[in-house]
Amino acid sequence: MMKALTYISPGVIAWRQIPKPKLIKSTDVIGKVVATTICGSDLHILKGDVLETTEIAQKDPKKGIVLGHEAIIVVEEVGSSITKFNPGDICIVSCITACGSCYYCEKNLQSHCSGNEGTSGWIFGHEIDGTQAEYVRVPFGNTSLFKAPKGVSYDKLLMLCDAIPTSYEIGVKNGGVKAGDSVAIVGLGPVGLSALLSTKTLNPKQIIAIDMDDQRLELATKLGATHVINPGKVFASALTNKVMEYTTDLIPGREPGVDVAIECVGVPSTFELCQDLITSGGSIANIGVHGKSVELKLQKLWIKDCKITTGLVSANTTQELLDKVVDGSLDPSPIITHHFKFDEFEKAYEIFKDAKNTKAMKIVLTP
């Protein structure tokens, strides 16, 4: 048996005893979890927004489904097809499980992996038991785990499971951020701050950070934002004007506006704001998970020759980002605000849910 944080029905989770996972397939790895975290998508599940997860949980209410898709593990047992890892190895568990050989994995779009036990590359804590437990079974270990280098803290490594790759792939890479660019980041939660950190590794000229919380803006300045704006303190049009002012005369002949606007909130107003901020030839890279339709101002956008992108992380840049963490050009640890022990899981969820008051960003849980 082991302890795990399981989701039972909307609003109901429990830290409880359930059977310890076993190897099922030759491509499986069993890992002892040494650090894990809670993500915004766990809260979506908890609210009952993710119907398939609720359905799976209710099939076995005595157990439920273990939440979580981010962890650092010590490999305990490996299936007979595992060639890259041995018991005792410390590994980063990717939020995306990739078989490595299906149509989508071949296209480097592992988020849609069809060789999996679920319906996409996101199966942990969604369609199979996740990582918020003492032990986890990792399918397709060879292509879904990354060996942790020595001397890097679990805190830093944990940010490479989801937050940093998501912000880098869906924000920075999709947006095409390059050296010398002007970049706006709208929303400075864990993913927005991760976007800031990974943007910075590409040496943009400006990073304009926009958020309603002054404390987050202060942190953004410390982490490398060149300008900060609190939309709660200026009128909407004044906000756009400020961005235009900051981006005027960056290069002779260039129109004001940012080259890339990265949306990290997921509500209509922030996406609509991004459309007002970009210069001609600019990009809007949407990371936020939207629950409602947004207004697309095509009548203004077409003549800007702009690009709009969005997506689900494929976690195919994890090694590249890990190298940046090792060489020191990327340090994700300032995003971590709280540490808890496993038996404080329920409390950790309360703190994470109430981020507005608790100022929680990323929470690390250890045994």
For Zn ion, the binding residues (CB under 5 A) are 39, 41, 99, 102, 105, 113, 115, 162
Residue closer to Zn ion by CB (options 239, 285) is: 285
Residue closer to Zn ion by CB (options 167, 275) is: 167
What is the radius of gyration, based on Cα positions, of the chain?
A: 21
Task: Judge contact between 121 and 65, C-beta under 8 A.
Answer: no
Q: Give min distance, CB of 255 to Zn ion, in A.
A: 36
**Cβ partners under 8 Å of residue 252, min gap 6:** none
Q: Give min distance, CB of 258 to Zn ion, in A.
A: 26
Counts of helices then strands in the chain (DSSP H, E) = 15, 16
* Alpha-carbon dihedral angle through residues 250, 254, 257, 258, given to the nearest 10 degrees: -70
Q: How far apart are CA 163 and CA 151, in angstroms?
A: 21
Residue closer to Zn ion by CB (options 106, 245) is: 106
Residue closer to Zn ion by CB (options 102, 244) is: 102
Residue closer to Zn ion by CB (options 258, 365) is: 365
Nearest to 215 by CA among 363, 352, 360, 340: 360
Q: Give min distance, CB of 359 to Zn ion, in A.
A: 19
**Cβ partners under 8 Å of residue 235, min gap 6:** none
**Count of C-beta atoms within a 10 Å radius of residue 342:** 18
Helix 40-47 with 345-353: angle, nearest 10 deg: 90
Q: How far apart are CA 120 and CA 118, in angstroms?
A: 6
Q: Give min distance, CB of 128 to Zn ion, in A.
A: 15
Task: Judge contact between 160 and 72, C-beta under 8 A.
Answer: no
Task: Judge contact between 228 and 193, C-beta under 8 A.
Answer: no
**Count of C-beta atoms within a 10 Å radius of residue 219:** 22
Residue closer to Zn ion by CB (options 94, 247) is: 94
Q: Give min distance, CB of 80 to Zn ion, in A.
A: 20
Q: Give min distance, CB of 105 to Zn ion, in A.
A: 3
Residue closer to Zn ion by CB (options 41, 199) is: 41
DSSP 276-329: HHEEEEEEEEE-S--SS-----HHHHGGGT-EEEE------SHHHHHHHHHHTS
Q: Give min distance, CB of 121 to Zn ion, in A.
A: 7
Q: Give min distance, CB of 106 to Zn ion, in A.
A: 8
Residue closer to Zn ion by CB (options 98, 229) is: 98
Q: How far apart are CA 115 and CA 234, in angstroms?
A: 50
Residue closer to Zn ion by CB (options 123, 225) is: 123
Residue closer to Zn ion by CB (options 55, 106) is: 106
In the bound complex, which residue of the shown chain has the CB atom lying closest to Zn ion? 39
Q: How far apart are CA 140 and CA 70, in angstroms?
A: 15
- What backbone phi and psi angles, to 5 degrees, belong to 37? -150, 170
Q: Give min distance, CB of 102 to Zn ion, in A.
A: 3
Q: Give min distance, CB of 211 to Zn ion, in A.
A: 20
